[in-house]
Amino acid sequence: MHLIEQKLRDYHPNSALEQDIALTEIVQQFILFGLARSGFFADAAFHGGTCLRILFGLPRFSEDLDFVLKTPDRTFGWGKHLRVICAECAAYGVDLEVKDRARGTGAVRAAFLKTDSLGMVARASLPFGRHPRRKVVVKLEIDTDPPAGCVFQPGFLTFPGPAAVTVLDGPSGFAGKLHALLCRAYVKGRDWYDLLWYAERGMMPNLSLLANALHQAGPWVGQEKAIDLDWVLEELTRKIRSIDWAATRGDVARFVPAREQKSLELWGEALFLNVVERMRRNWLQGGPAFRG
């Protein structure tokens, strides 16, 4: 268990909450390693907040592992991949409980993986108290009928060992985030945190993918609406002016490191309208390529 203990020390957690988040992220990386060993990434790609966190250095913590199939397939099942994940994790002393919820009529298939063994094996080196049987839970979700237009690129893990994964490229990931910002039925602070991250990099979204996603799911389904950059910025502005920013700050606070908590006080309409204007200027100039 030296490998796990060393990895935990690398996080330098400043609280019991940050320690729990670090343990969760360690389990997430074990799961991704198992998925790579199972051949999963020949058919699927990693995306979302945890992808940005683990592979591209997003400062905020994240919870779930989100994936899309490269080609729609409603017959997809997690089974064979979960078996490999469990075997690979067991080799490192991490025993997983599995609940596969891949069956069903919806396009999104979920599975839950739980373990209490990580806290038990590492408890001697945990800087903060933790019940030895407290479980780490990781949810896996995959879209088996994704919108057309995704662009994929290779990525690499280094923990617990080298492994190749497939991810959405930056513009495609940004398109997915914009779809969530505009269409999610509730406000999620982590979405707005990620918008700041993309905007700081001058990212331009994959508009073709965003248009296909908007026509497939959300309030614009069935509408023959032309999706261009001006439309996206106008809808973002409308959304920003409708949000309860105090609640939004509260939603994201526990996922943000202690050193960034002060910056959340700036979250509000003025900040995000300014971000939209900076995005408009960057987009008019063409925007740079994604810098991971």
Query: Is the CB of residue 171 less than 8 Å from the CB of residue 290?
Result: yes
How many CA atoms within 13 Å lie on the side-chain side of 258? 9
User: For the segment 125-159, what is each residue's pLDDT rounded down to a tens digit?
Assistant: 666 656 555 788 999 999 999 999 999 999 999 99
Query: Is the CB of residue 150 less than 8 Å from the CB of residue 68?
Result: yes
Overall average pLDDT of the 186-207 stretch: 93
Does residue 119 have a pLDDT over 70? no
CA distances for 235 relative to 142, 178, 184, 194, angstroms: 27, 10, 13, 17
Indicate the pLDDT class of residue 245, thresholds 50, 70 and 90.
Answer: very high
User: For the segment 7-43, what is each residue's pLDDT rounded down to a tens digit?
Assistant: 877 877 777 888 888 889 999 999 999 999 999 999 9
In the chain the first and final C-alpha atoms are separated, in Å, by 31
**24 or 167, which is more confident?**
167
Q: Give the separation between CA 30 and CA 284, rounded to whole angstroms.
A: 41
Indicate the pLDDT class of residue 286, thresholds 50, 70 and 90.
Answer: low
Question: Phi and psi at residue 115, in whole multiples of 5°?
Answer: -150, 145
**What percent of the chain stands above pLDDT 70?**
90
pLDDT at 193: 96
The total of other beta-carbon atoms located within 10 Å of residue 259's CB is 9
